[in-house]
Chain A
Amino acid sequence: MDDVLRGPVGPAPHSRPGAGPPRVLVADDEDDIRALVCLAVAKAGATVVSAVHDGTAALAAARAEVPDLAVLDVSMPGATGLEVCIALRDDPATAGVRVLLLSAGASVDDVARGLAAGADAYLAKPFQVSSLVRQVRSLTVEQPA
């Protein structure tokens, strides 16, 4: 079973033909998980533009790089993944960045909070790498106009 739950997905403004592989920001305070996510992103054919370990750094990196996708852990120091997601949505420069939340919280309430914060998808830990790869591909592919 796929553990991914999705929110409303709109077009990916930064994925343009000929613009190279999708650019992904990875943020997780667990080094092992962060490295695992980076491997999954690479398997999905995307490029990790930044891999950070806290919410504050994630927000700064997102504003600097404006990636196509941000894979954010919910429980991070500095700012939680939910707070980063809300901040991205509030900033016109980053409002179009797709967000995939990763969290150890797997309850319905946890998922609902994540989607309410503006996330495009929510993946509960522990996740299958293959599921993460599919989600990265799905969220970074250009949507038909």
Chain B
Amino acid sequence: MTIAEVTPTGLTAVRPADRARRRRLLAFRGSARCSLLGRALPATGTFALAAALLGVGALPVIDPELVLAGLATAFLASGTAGLIDRTAATRSGALLVPSAHLAAVALLCAGTASPAVLFLLLGPVLALITAPGRRGVPVAVLGTAAALLVPGLLASAPAVGLSGALLLGPAVVGLAGLAVNDTSRRLARQAARIAGLEGERATLLAQVQTRADELDQATRMLAARAQTMTSVIDAVTEQSIIGTDRDGVIRVWNPGAERMLGLPRLDVVRKRSIVEFHLPEELAEVAEEAGTAPGLAALVHAAIERGSDVRDWTYVAGDGQRRTVAVAVTPRTDDRGVHAGWNFVGTDMTEARATERMKDQFVSLISHELRTPLSSILGYLELVMDPDSEPLTDEQRQYLTTVERNAQRLLRLVGDLLFTAQVEAGRFTLQPEDVDLAGVVRAAEETIRVTAANAGVKVAVDVPDGGLVVPGDAVRLGQACDNLISNAVKFTPAGGRVDLSLRAAWRTTDGDLSDDERPGAEPVALLAVRDTGMGIPAGEQGRMFTRFFRASTAQRNAVPGVGLGLSITKAITTAHGGTLDLESAEGAGTTFTMVLPRA
């Protein structure tokens, strides 16, 4: 039997039929545990009727005192029943009150000498034989016998015959009492069992109600989460979010997908496959490379192997237009963790890829169009200044040296721009080998030595005699050291000093540097380039590694440069797994610290 059910909203409802059954059970249980007053009511009613009959003369009054005593006893007992109900003496009162009523019947019988009064026996006798336990039956027999016998003792004429008083009445009362008592007790036991079952049922009902409440709460939470997810997905208008089942049939199609592919949700969900929005030849090509079947397998094979996959795909929109889309493919599971399909989150890269192509073309153009004329300038300069050629005057040589220096400067600028473009495009590669960083630092010092001397800046070098080897790209590391050292000289006024210090050190996992080896610490090479130059304002130090940023001190002092050297040096250091930091005080100088992992 279903006693409760979950409604569509998750609420629990109890059927009306069950409510009626519950009311009947409660009523029966109430009757089995009836109060003394309730039990005394039938007898009290009959006494009231007798009093009324006596009042109107329907019953004879032989001895008014006995009649009054009988009625007083009867109503006093009924009143007492009400009082006993409020005390704990209910069990003993169940026999006392009917017994008192029997005594009242005896007095009335004696006072009226009328057999009709004997109908008053019915109430107390019933109360006694239905009282809890078996004691009520003998009490009823004895009470009945007494009620029949006493009038004969008190009055001149007995109300009933002796035989009726002593034998027939008590016998009838006894037999009927036993039967009624037995039935009453059986009914009481059944009522108790039913009451117990009812209690269990109420407990179960409460548990069902609790579970229903929990289910309702969980249902509401799930609905809220689903609504949240839906609203989030629908809020994404710049990315396409497409969910499919395991066969690639589309189940989720967000507004971003509608916008990107030009088809409304209703035209796609459960009707189209994700494969239909891809170029068949592109899928076939990927399938051939991956050794998978064409179609959906080509789309998801990498996500199956690695858990996710991001790459460019060509989407074909509803109007046939092609879009280059960076698509992230991930598997989707259901609430039991079972694979249920695939998610495809796409970002339209059509414009970005076109811009990248333009940038590549621009870089290529710059590379060719600037380096080619520089080749001519530098090549012919070299021929003119060749000692084997016609001798030059000192003045001519000085002019041509200036031309060559500026051509080299232009060449470095072109190189820096190209390198920056490569870093930005992620096409910056290293040629790793073992590099003696001490040699690189010495070479950089040699390169800058003449310039520093002309500027009146002293350069001191302190590197390990035995060298210090790091894994890296010798050309790029040389470029980084050249940048740091030439910067230090450039920003130090005449009379200043630049110290180059290279030493072995160890770097702990939390980044601390130590000159002593520590357990778990990584061996590193530490290059410090310290100058006594103009320094960098504190507010600008965080931007020093940004492309094209120049410190205000550099601009105030007309130090030449375009602001690429430090960003390039930082990129090179980072690509080698190292760090580059600076400490500076305006007017006091700057220290750049490069830390590179050692071999």
* Residues in A lying within 8 Å of B, measured CB to CB: 30, 32-33, 36, 39-40, 75, 104-109, 125-130
Contact = CB atoms under 8 A, between A and B. Distances in A.
B376 A39 contact: no
Contacts, number: 58
Contacts of A107: 422, 427, 429
Contacts of A129: 379, 382-383, 386
Contacts of B383: 36, 39, 129
Interface stretch (B295-303, B364-372, B452-460): B364-372
Contact of B375 (A39, A109, A125): A125
Contacts of A40: 379
B393 interface: no
Given A36-B375, A126-B411, A109 B380 contact: no
B412 to A, nearest CB: 12
B376 A30 contact: yes
Contacts of B371: 104, 106, 125-126
A126 B379 contact: yes
29 contacts: A30-B372, A32-B373, A32-B376, A32-B380, A33-B375, A33-B376, A33-B379, A39-B383, A40-B379, A75-B368, A104-B367, A104-B368, A104-B375, A105-B368, A106-B367, A106-B415, A106-B418, A107-B427, A107-B429, A108-B431, A126-B371, A126-B375, A126-B377, A126-B378, A126-B411, A127-B379, A128-B378, A129-B379, A129-B382
A29 to B, nearest CB: 9
Interface string B534-563: 000000000000000000000000000000
Nearest to B478: A1
B429 A33 contact: no
Given A36-B379, A36-B380, A104-B367, A126 B429 contact: no
B374 interface: yes
A127 B375 CA distance: 6
Contact of B429 (A39, A104, A108, A128): A108
A13 to B, nearest CB: 30
A106 B431 CA distance: 14
Contact of A104 (B372, B377, B379): B372
Contacts of B364: 105
Contacts of B386: 129
A101 B411 CA distance: 20
Contacts of A128: 378-379, 382
> What 10 A-B pairs have minimum CB-CB distances, sorted nearest first?
A126-B375, A104-B371, A32-B376, A125-B375, A36-B379, A104-B368, A129-B382, A126-B374, A126-B378, A125-B371
A107 B367 CA distance: 11
A105 B431 contact: no
A129 B387 CA distance: 13
Nearest to B380: A36
Nearest to B366: A104
Q: Chain B: interface residue count, which band?
A: 20 to 34
A39 B376 CA distance: 12
Q: Indicate the member of A104, A107, A130 with the most B CB atoms within 10 Å.
A: A104
B382 A109 contact: no
B414 to A, nearest CB: 10
Q: Indicate the member of B374, B378, B382 with the most A CB atoms within 10 Å.
A: B382
Nearest to A40: B379
A33 B371 CA distance: 11
Contacts of B429: 107-109
A40 B383 CA distance: 9
A75 B365 CA distance: 11
Given A32-B373, A108-B429, A128-B378, 6 more contacts: A33-B376, A39-B383, A75-B368, A125-B371, A127-B379, A128-B379
Contacts of B376: 30, 32-33, 36
Nearest to A28: B372
B372 A125 contact: yes
A83 B372 CA distance: 20
B372 to A, nearest CB: 6
A71 to B, nearest CB: 13
Contacts of A126: 371, 374-375, 377-379, 411
Contacts of B415: 106
A36 B374 CA distance: 12
Interface in B330-379: 364, 367-368, 371-379
Nearest to B474: A1
Contacts of A125: 371-372, 374-375
A123 B429 CA distance: 19
Nearest to A112: B429
A143 B418 CA distance: 38
Nearest to A127: B375
Nearest to A74: B368
A36 B367 CA distance: 19
Contacts of B418: 106
Contacts of A105: 364, 367-368
B278 to A, nearest CB: 30
Q: Indicate the member of B371, B374, B375, B386 with the most A CB atoms within 10 Å.
A: B375
Contacts of B379: 33, 36, 40, 126-129
Contacts of A39: 383
A30 B415 CA distance: 21
A11 B281 CA distance: 46
Q: Indicate the member of B377, B379, B431 with the most A CB atoms within 10 Å.
A: B379
A106 B363 CA distance: 12
B162 to A, nearest CB: 138
Contacts of A127: 375, 379
A126 B370 CA distance: 10
A108 B367 CA distance: 14
